Amino acid sequence: MTNLSDAELSLLIAKQAGTLLLELRESYGPLDAGDKEQADALRKQGDRVAHELLADALGQHRPQDALLSEEGADNADRLDASRLWIVDPLDGTWEYGQGRWDFAVHVALWEPALKRLSACTVDLPAQGICRSMLDEVSAEPAFPTDRPVRVVASRTRPPANLGRTLATLGERLAKAGLNEHGVELMDVGSVGAKVNELVSGRAEIYVHDSGFYEWDVAAPYGVARHYGFVPSHINGDEIEFNHMPPWVPNLLVCHPLIVDYVRDVLAEAARG
């Protein structure tokens, strides 16, 4: 792995962590959705072993770089680093413990001087899909005209007044002649899995307004941009990384054709 580029290393270790997570879950045998003790044990072990794999690989092959991981001890020294790997060893921990498909492994590299994300990978092991900045993308994402525009949002913390916001957006898209089928909500787990719904052509908008951490956001943010979507704060500002604490207050990932409409409707909803 010594001769691998950053993007190649990111892809390789994310897939290795994803394979490990699948093997671990299979070792638990059939999962009982009502067995909280079993699910919690699986989640904790999955978080730990995936973190150890990623941290060990990066420590061996990029020893001069800093690391920010959900499962690792944070260190303020990373604030002065010229290169910071931001990883979520198991994004969608609840979904993983429930035996669901919508969990992911996130690996991304942040270069503070350039204010640039690179080497971003989102591995979706239960789906057999890995999204990377190495993927060839030849065209702008397609926009649907034969079905509703679809939004993915947090199952447990959706934006306030989301139903009314979606209705308003649907009206405006119809008036603009872009889509006459309205807007509907999809239930998907982890951030990486949500962004994959956009990349896969099954949804056009991902919005989250109640905050989460940089490891939740970094890799999906870079992958979404690579695939032609527009990621940003809800107000359109770029998201920057390597803060203390590593908190991201909100996120919008949107199809470029409708991003201005979506931002306008969300701003109106925020004003009440």
pLDDT the model gives residue 2: 62
pLDDT the model gives residue 161: 79
Each residue of 55-114: pLDDT tens digit?
999 999 999 999 999 999 999 999 999 999 999 999 999 999 999 999 999 999 999 999
Q: What's the start-to-end Cα distance of the chain, in Å? A: 53
pTM of this prediction?
A: 0.95
Each residue of 249-258: pLDDT tens digit?
999 999 999 9
pLDDT band at 271 (very low <50, low <70, confident <90, very high): confident
Q: Which CATH class is domain 149-271?
A: alpha beta
Sign of CA dihedral 115, 104, 247, 9: negative
Q: Which CATH class is domain 6-132?
A: alpha beta
| pLDDT > 80? residue 16 | yes
Each residue of 200-245: pLDDT tens digit?
999 999 999 999 999 999 999 999 999 999 999 999 999 999 999 9
Domain ranges, ordered by start, for the chain: 6-132, 149-271
**pLDDT, the chain, mean:** 95
Write the DSSP string, 119-178. Answer: EEEEEEGGGTEEEETTS---SPPP--SSS-EEEEE-SSSPPTTHHHHHHHHHHHHHHTTS
pLDDT the model gives residue 92: 95
If DSSP codes are grouped into helix, strand and coil, which group holds residue 53? helix
Kind plus residue range of the DSSP H or E element containing 71: none
| pLDDT > 80? residue 3 | yes
Kind plus residue range of the DSSP H or E element containing 194: helix 191-199
pLDDT band at 1 (very low <50, low <70, confident <90, very high): low
pLDDT the model gives residue 209: 93
